[in-house]
């Protein structure tokens, strides 16, 4: 079930009304209802894969309790290994099996061997990379002694399957999110209104920005040799805003929906395209994933405790795994490596933590140096997104080669230039709103300050009007559903 679908427009208010109508009864009943609603939400896509969520939830619920009660450290470690085996194994079979088979066959072909293996002919379960990471972190935290396991299966299963963030995050930690299912929740009007505001902004970013950018991105990436360098550059920029509008838009809708039900989900995007270097970008982009890799991979490898050489090794490993997490394709691995190559010089020269504050803090506009830093960082990010979007590494090089052509100085030769110009205007509108809210948790936080009230409501009407008028006629599914 998609957030921007008619089905969800019916599902959400129905679940919202029933959820709060039973809030006066036992908390377990409310959590049980959330589990049922979440399974319906996920099963709407393909009910057969509900078994994977139930399996992951059951394994880690039982394993975490056994880890906590085990007396011997070896028993605790073996139980954790079992949890990791089940979760990573499930992820590996469904997401990476065919990738490894393809590369094994290619390796043998170099030695003139015609070895052929069977493939698994099934689709990737939506959200499997997100909920497996969520349950794994729970078992790991219990093993590390950072968290006591939940003794209430209703709370735990609701935590794993909570439908707003089930299929594309944020990847919530049990230390932050699980306790919220064990406390009585009461409806708060101001919290719900802010949730609706964030949902509205998320729908704008998805339906107006991402879906309109996708039309041109799909066209240009399908045959890059047919277009000028300027058109290809525009396509790369459009993809940067497509993936941002798509994924951060999903996160906004998920976080806003969570607020409607009385939950606080972590911020997943902190206006990353205003970053002044690549280190700041990764502190602001997909925060729940980058912090997950920091805490459960980087620190496990030794973090920065082994000197600079070992730290550089750990950074490379994390970026490679982060790239591979996104998909079973060498393009994602290259994308991770290139991000590491941009990050490493900052670390070597101790500049990776230069920009911890908000850009142009307490000022209306950035300084010329800050503006230049933002433009350069965004430019590198756009070029790296080409690898992320391309079907193969060779196609990415063809696309980049097309950009750096003398025709880059020409007017883009694309169809529907009027629609492209309108999309650029909408992007600039989005950026201006988010710039005004860059110290806040989401784009429309700044609107609360608008006085008088009727002007604020006129602003909301403009956004609704834009969604109605400028939504793409060919809506796309959320990009991160495939991860």
Report pLDDT digits (tens) over 436-478. 999 888 888 877 777 788 888 888 999 999 998 888 666 677 7
Give buried/exposed letters for 101-124 (b at 16+ CB in 10 A, else e): eeeeeeeeeeeeeeeeeeeeeeeb
pLDDT of residue 284 exceeding 70, the answer is yes
Cβ(178)–Cβ(151) under 8 Å?
A: no
What pLDDT is stored for residue 483 in this prediction?
A: 64
Cβ(137)–Cβ(169) under 8 Å?
A: no
Cβ(90)–Cβ(55) under 8 Å?
A: yes
Instruction: Read off the tokens for 291.
Output: 């912090």
Please give the Cα distance from 159 to 153 (Å, whole number).
10
Please give the Cα distance from 183 to 364 (Å, whole number).
41
From 176, 178, 148, 146, select the one nearest 161 (Cα to Cα).
Answer: 178
Mean pLDDT, residues 358-375? 94
pLDDT in tens, 26-59: 899 999 999 999 999 999 888 888 999 999 999 9
pLDDT of residue 326 exceeding 70, the answer is yes
What pLDDT is stored for residue 95 in this prediction?
A: 87
326 is an active site residue: yes
Mean pLDDT, residues 245-255? 95
What pLDDT is stored for residue 271 in this prediction?
A: 96
Q: What is the pTM of this model?
A: 0.94
Mean pLDDT, residues 167-177? 90
Longest dimension (CA), the chain: 75
* Share above pLDDT 70 across residues of the chain, in percent, rounded to a whole number: 98
Three-class HEC string of 175-189: HHHHHHHHCCCCCCH
User: Which residue's structure tokens are 């790239």?
Assistant: 323
Q: Which of 326, 327, 377, 412 is catalytic?
A: 326
Mean pLDDT, residues 249-269? 96
């Amino acid at each position: 079930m998609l957030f921007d679908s008619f089905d969800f427009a019916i599902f959400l208010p129905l679940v919202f009304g029933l959820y709060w109508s039973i809030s006066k009864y036992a908390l377990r009943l409310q959590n049980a209802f959330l589990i049922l609603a979440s399974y319906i939400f996920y099963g709407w896509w393909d009910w057969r894969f509900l078994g994977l969520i139930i399996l992951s939830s059951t394994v880690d619920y039982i394993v975490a309790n056994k880890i906590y009660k085990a007396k011997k450290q070896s028993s605790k470690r073996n139980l954790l290994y079992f949890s990791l085996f089940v979760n990573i194994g499930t992820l590996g079979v469904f997401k990476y099996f065919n990738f490894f088979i393809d590369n094994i066959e290619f390796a043998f072909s170099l030695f003139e061997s015609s070895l052929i293996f069977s493939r698994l002919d099934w689709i990737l379960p939506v959200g499997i990379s997100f909920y497996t990471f969520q349950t794994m972190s729970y078992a790991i935290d219990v093993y590390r002694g950072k968290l006591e396991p939940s003794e209430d299966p209703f709370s735990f299963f609701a935590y794993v399957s909570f439908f707003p963030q089930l299929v594309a995050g944020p990847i919530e930690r049990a230390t932050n999110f699980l306790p919220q299912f064990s406390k009585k929740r009461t409806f708060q009007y101001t919290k719900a209104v802010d949730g609706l505001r964030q949902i509205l902004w998320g729908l704008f970013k998805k339906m107006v920005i991402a879906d309109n950018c996708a039309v041109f991105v799909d066209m240009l990436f399908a045959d890059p040799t047919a277009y000028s360098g300027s058109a290809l550059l525009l396509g790369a920029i459009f993809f940067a805003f497509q993936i941002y509008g798509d994924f951060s838009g999903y996160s906004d809708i998920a976080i806003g929906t969570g607020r409607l039900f009385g939950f606080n989900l972590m911020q997943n995007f902190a206006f990353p395209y205003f970053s002044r270097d690549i280190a700041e970008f990764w502190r602001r982009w997909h925060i729940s994933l980058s912090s997950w890799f920091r805490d459960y991979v980087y620190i496990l490898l030794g973090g920065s405790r082994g000197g600079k050489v070992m730290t550089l090794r750990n950074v490379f490993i994390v970026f490679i795994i982060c790239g591979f997490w996104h998909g079973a394709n060498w393009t994602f691995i290259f994308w991770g490596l290139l991000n590491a190559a941009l990050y490493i010089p900052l670390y070597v020269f101790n500049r990776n933590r230069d920009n911890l504050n908000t850009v142009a803090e307490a000022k209306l506009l950035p300084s010329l140096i800050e503006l230049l830093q933002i433009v350069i960082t965004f430019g590198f990010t756009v070029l790296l997104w080409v690898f992320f979007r391309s079907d193969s590494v060779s196609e990415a090089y063809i696309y980049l080669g097309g950009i750096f052509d003398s025709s880059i100085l020409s007017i883009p030769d694309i169809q529907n230039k009027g629609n492209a110009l309108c999309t650029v205007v909408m992007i600039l509108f989005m950026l201006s709103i988010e710039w005004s809210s860059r110290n806040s948790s989401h784009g429309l936080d700044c609107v609360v300050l608008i006085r008088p009230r009727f002007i604020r409501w006129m602003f909301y009407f403009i956004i609704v009007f834009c969604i109605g008028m400028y939504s793409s006629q060919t809506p796309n599914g959320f990009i991160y559903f495939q991860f």
